[in-house]
Chains A and B, each alone.
Chain A
Amino acid sequence: MFTNRMFNILVPVISVLLGLIVGAIIMAAFGYNPLSGYQALWDGSFGDIYYFGETVRQVTPYIFTGLAVAFAFRSGLFNIGAEGQVIVGWLAAVWVGAAFDAPMIIHLPLALLAAALAGAIWGFIPGLLKAKLGVHEVIITIMMNYIALHVSNGLIRSVLSENQDSSDPIKESASLASNWLMEMTSFSRLHYGILIALFAAVIMWFLLEKTSAGFELRSVGFNQHASQYAGMNVGKNIILAMVISGAFAGLGGAMEGLGTFGYMPTHSAFTNLGFDGIAVALLGGNNAFGVVLAALLFGTLKIGALNMPTAADVPSELVEIVIALIIFFVASSYIIRWVLLRFKKEGK
């Protein structure tokens, strides 16, 4: 009755439910009504068409960062650096978007390409160090995050603007924003990026499942030594996985730069898009379709949370706690499986 496939669906669903239940207990413990809390959350993400537009907008970069982390995971790598890759991608997209003049058909793809390239470079360095020197990618990607943050702030102040705290706005021809989508969602910041994000998910699925390069990447993820023995170039695959992963995250940054904001502000702290991408990937079971669903959930939680303090007086950080609990339960999937099997035995 319980096949592996069913576990892969049941574990995240149960994790989400458990996370929400514990969140409700915390709300109740602090004297809030959990029902009105979650009602506010729901209203804040799907309550009307404006909120719906904002939710989908928030989902867009999450799909990309989720794909980025999931792609690396499938090759046995842990990309904590999606955060930095988002930042450099955002920077590169805005830079190209503001500095060049070209018709949209050239300008927009060019800006997207620049973002992907910047992210790819930011993934290449830890990939190279891992493949050639065996340096753990987790540490290097953490360091690369800080370097991205400080360097991009420095570049925004010195190159992309004249000592301002944000870059110049991008040209119309590089923008993903769409009047049509905005009007339809009563002027949310919804933009065309969601289509690119869904397309990227299809690309990832195809690349991993249907190509021989994808087979190599996955088999390196399963067992490096066996892959080596089978004649695969493990080092090359590690670098490739990090480069593609970085490119996905970089595009996530482009969604913010070309779609939502149209410029890049200096950041005093991380955007958290990349870190949340880790959670999205885990919950999505590291596959493309799952990532899209998980991104939808996280976008909903994040945007809905903004409505919680006003509508139900619950601090929006409650949602951060719920997200943390969900990750915790996904990580502990062994115990969930164990309990499920117990139940199954007793049912007989």
Chain B
Amino acid sequence: MLDILQSIIPPAMFFSAPLIFTALGGVFSERSGVVNIGLEGLMVMGAFVGVVFNLTFADVFGAATPWISILAAMVVSAVFSLIHAVASVTFRADQVVSGVAINFLALGLGVFLTKQWYDKGQTDMVSQPFYTLDIPVLGDIPVLGPLFFQNMYLTSYLAIILAIIAWYILYKTPFGLRLRSVGEHPMAADTNGINVYAMRYVAVMISGAMGGLGGSVFALTIALNFSQSTIVGQGFMSLAAVIFGKWHPLGAMGAALFFGFAQSLSVISSSIPLLEDVPQIYLLIAPYVLTILALAGFIGRAEAPKANGEPYIKGSR
């Protein structure tokens, strides 16, 4: 039994981490009232920047390269997400449509620049990815050690820590209260002196940074290079996790952990007696079918932030 759990939990955590990061970004954006279908594109941008930075600076930074790569990816994706912010906050664009444009643009730019700089459709494999490691003292604890503290990526812990921080920021700080109020009733927030536009810009940029973090972590732990097909749907899964998790950071984390687990199923099934004989196709569609079932019944009605998707126009009623 322990063996089975040991072959389930670490891979599930490892597949979940990028989804958790991105979904947390989605929570911030949507809590401020900006729908972000562009999470997929933000992840693509993050993966691209993470890989390119890693390839370029591996000699300079050595073992620290992956960490600096994800920082670079966060910064670039945050700047890239400004496009979505300008369109949906200032230009009053349909936020869903603008998000779709972000997805197209990130993929087009990423592959265009890849061809430009590497003369082929995909980059080389990175030489400085994240490696698994055993946590020194905690890894020696019986039962829990092998499950949670051996063969793990540090990024998996970072994801969980950030989820708790995000919860704290959103629910325990004045900034979080303002951000949520802007997403619920922007006019009331405006009347109380909160700058709706500024809050929404900040929220979208946080989602950009977190999406970039998620994409680069995915690229540097799972994909290891960048191409057209590096990020296929992880952003959409994260968006589903946002809604599944009822727009709450910890809920989104739970949903992302669940998706990560479901995604890892098709990879680890061969080593689990119960799943060995299940045809691959069922395991492949499991995360999506389970999501639909969960949204349709098990979690009850989820209420989106009230002003989600509505451009705020000062002075209108």
Contacts and interface: CB of A to CB of B under 8 A. Distances in A.
Interface string A120-137: 000001000100011110
Most central of B37, B115, B285, B288 by chain A CB within 10 Å? B288
B108 A147 contact: no
B268 interface: no
Interface string B247-262: 0000000000000000
Nearest to A334: B92
A332 B93 contact: yes
Contacts of B169: none
Contact of B243 (A139, A144, A151): A139
Interface in A292-338: 315, 317-321, 323-325, 327-328, 330-335
Contact of A134 (B97, B232, B301): B301
Contacts of A324: 101-105, 108
Contacts, number: 126
A200 B109 CA distance: 34
Contacts of B94: 331
Given A147-B288, A154-B279, A268 B229 contact: yes
A269 interface: yes
B91 A269 contact: no
A146 B291 CA distance: 12
Given A146-B233, A146-B288, A328-B101, A320 B108 contact: yes
A120 to B, nearest CB: 18
Nearest to B304: A136
B112 A315 contact: yes
B240 interface: yes
A334 B281 contact: no
A278 B284 contact: no
A interface, by DSSP: helix, strand, loop or mixed?
A: helix
A143 interface: yes
B296 A315 contact: no
Nearest to B229: A269
A320 B107 contact: yes
B210 interface: no
Contacts of B105: 321, 324-325, 328
Contacts of A133: 296-297, 301
A182 interface: no
Given A133-B296, A334-B91, A315 B289 contact: no
A275 to B, nearest CB: 8
A142 B295 contact: no
Interface in B216-244: 228-229, 232-233, 236, 239-240, 243
A179 B229 CA distance: 36
Contacts of A154: 279-281, 284
A115 B295 CA distance: 28
B101 A331 contact: yes
A150 B281 contact: yes
A290 to B, nearest CB: 15
B144 interface: no
A232 interface: no
B51 to A, nearest CB: 16
15 contacts: A139-B295, A146-B285, A147-B289, A154-B284, A269-B229, A275-B100, A319-B108, A323-B108, A324-B101, A324-B103, A327-B97, A327-B104, A330-B97, A332-B87, A334-B91
